[in-house]
Structure 1
Amino acid sequence: MRQTVTNMIGTLPPQFFAITVTTVAENLAQLMYSVLMTGYMFRNAQYRLELQQSLDQVALPDKQEKKDAPGYAPGTQKKVSGEVIRWNNVSGAEKIDAFKYIELLEAEIEELNRQIGRTANGQNDLLEYLKSLEPQNLKELTSSAGEDAILAMNTFIKRLLAVSDPDQMKTTVTETSAPELAKLLYWLMVVGYSIRNIEVRFDMERVLGTTLKLAELPPGEAI
């Protein structure tokens, strides 16, 4: 999120350059709405990415070709027998063949090593996922926003601008520094991200018929 805002504002060091941004309220409102929706899109994409990764993990085959550690012969040479008992949160205790259980553990270790490698290389899975999507798929990440979410975004914008009359928005001039604008946009992006979280919670509440603890939006001073 910070990188997205930085790309929008620029990277000139504030200790050497004083950058002032001047625009009318109407243009600022459009920018704020776009940033809110970007945060919403990031959370929606993260939900889909997490689901995809979970399905990929479940779909791991029982046996996989693995990179053998130095000093060991290729392939698997395991002489184990018997069963392992593990606890299932739904069905309780269940038995699994010890050899198969070791294979599952090795597959999980390989997946963890792969994730650690991505983190060490500075790879951002979410950004890579967004880059891989077609334009139509990207549009779907924001077109699913419900009426309540859009209303919440517009309400935020009106309260922040303190101007709601369309004619006044076209003539009211707003001026701020680039660092302050960057803080505002980053906070709005986090708000959009949180709005999607709250929307999902409400959807779960309606489906399950239960009352969930309400999520809180990030405080403005915690930017």
Structure 2
Amino acid sequence: MELFVKRAPQQVVGAMRETVTNMIGTLPPQFFTVTITTVAENLAQVMYSVMMTGYMFRNAQYRLELQESLQQVALPDVQDKKDIPDYAPGTQKNVSGEVIRWNNVSGPESVDAKKYIELLEAEVEELNRQVGRQSSNAQNELLEYLKSLEPRNLKDLTSSAGEDVVFAMNTFIKRLLAVSDPDQMKTSVTETSAPELAKLLYWLMVVGYSIRNIEVRYDMERVLGTPPKVAELPPGENV
């Protein structure tokens, strides 16, 4: 999980954390001890759902990246690079004279041209900092994209999962539960704390995300006719 957090886009990491938090709850563990008890069959369904959510996040990220690439290609080149002057902050000081600006209290006032340029540069720098803060506090782009999709389009993000993907997910679940008999699945009781379950669900989401990475890589290797490489899971190298 630590490796995944370092490599994956922050919007993906944030989307996964928010999803798990919404599932488990937000009670602080230092003040509340929450225990979840269920049968293996229900836990298996949650595990499968979470892994498929991770798979869906990767597909949604692919689409977002494609849309951004197409938008950049479609943008017109308004100005030739050779026509754009290279200016650096603090270098536009080879001026003399005064600038008249309006003061809401005293009316027009004179300001030295060099001083006025310094004021403008400081104002631009502060505006850039504000824009940066707003961007960091903005809503998660990946989650907003998923919310904007119609149910039919949302389903398309998981419908691409082939038999190998479903088999891999079910294999993970059986190994984790150590129960495969259908009758035992309905009666075998599992008990865990909320923090431990949250870690497990987050990890399974990472596994689902990584399975989609591996699936794409294997498909590319089949098309190109190159021998498959040993997969690293989770999180696998970025494709």
Indicate the TM-score class for this superposition, using the shorter chain for normalisation: 0.7 to 0.9
Partner of 2:46: 31
Alignment partner, residue 166 of structure 2: 150
Deviation of the 1:61 alpha carbon: 1.2
What are the equivalent positions in structure 2 for 1:198-209 lying under 5 Å apart? 198-209=214-225
Coordinate RMSD, CA, aligned: 2.3
Would the alpha carbon gap of residues 104 and 165 (structure 1) be closer, same or farther in structure 2, given more than 3 Å must change?
farther
Q: What is the rounded CA distance, in whole Å, between the counterparts of 1:12 and 1:185 in structure 2?
A: 17
Structure 1 stretches of 4+ moved >4 Å: 102-105, 115-118
Q: Which residue of 2 aligns with 1:100?
A: 80
Secondary structure at the residue paired with 2:227?
A: coil
Q: Which of 58, 69, 72 pairs up with 2:73? A: 58
Sequence identity (%): 81
* Amino acid aligned to 2:31: F
Indicate the residue corresponding to 1:71 in structure 2.
none
- Asked if 1:132 is matched to 2:148, the reply is yes
Query: 1:173 is matched by which residue type in structure 2?
Result: V
Aligned to 1:121: 137
- Displacement after TM superposition at 1:47 (Å): 0.5
Find the structure with the greater CA-based Rg: 2
Structure 2: unaligned runs, 5 residues or longer: 1-15, 86-127
- Return the alpha-carbon distance in structure 2 between the equivalents of residues 169 and 187 of structure 1: 22
Work out whether residues 36 and 191 of structure 1, in 8 Å CA contact, stay in contact via their aligned partners in 2: yes
Q: Give the letter aligned to residue 21 of structure 1.
A: I
User: Which SS does the other structure have where 1:180 is aligned?
Assistant: helix
Gaps of 5+ in 1: 64-98, 106-112
Match of 1:171 among 163, 167, 187: 187
Write the distance in 2 (CA, Å) between the matches of 1:17 and 1:174. 20
Count of residues in Structure 1 that have an aligned counterpart in Structure 2? 177
Contact 1:32/1:157 (<8 A) preserved = yes
In structure 1, distance between residues paired with 2:84 and 2:76 = 9
CA distance in 1, matches of 2:199, 2:34: 14
What displacement does 1:5 show? 0.1
Change over 3 Å in CA distance of 1:155–1:17 after alignment to 2: same
**Separation in 1 of the partners of 2:173 and 2:181?**
13
Q: What is the CA-CA distance between 1:100 and the residue it aligns to?
A: 2.1
Query: Could you say which residue in structure 1 is the equivalent of 2:88?
Result: none
1:4 counterpart residue number: 19
Report the TM-score when normalising by structure 2. Answer: 0.69
Q: Which amino acid aligns with 2:162?
A: G
Letter in structure 2 aligned against 1:5: V
Q: Is the 8 A contact 1:62 1:104 kept in 2?
A: no
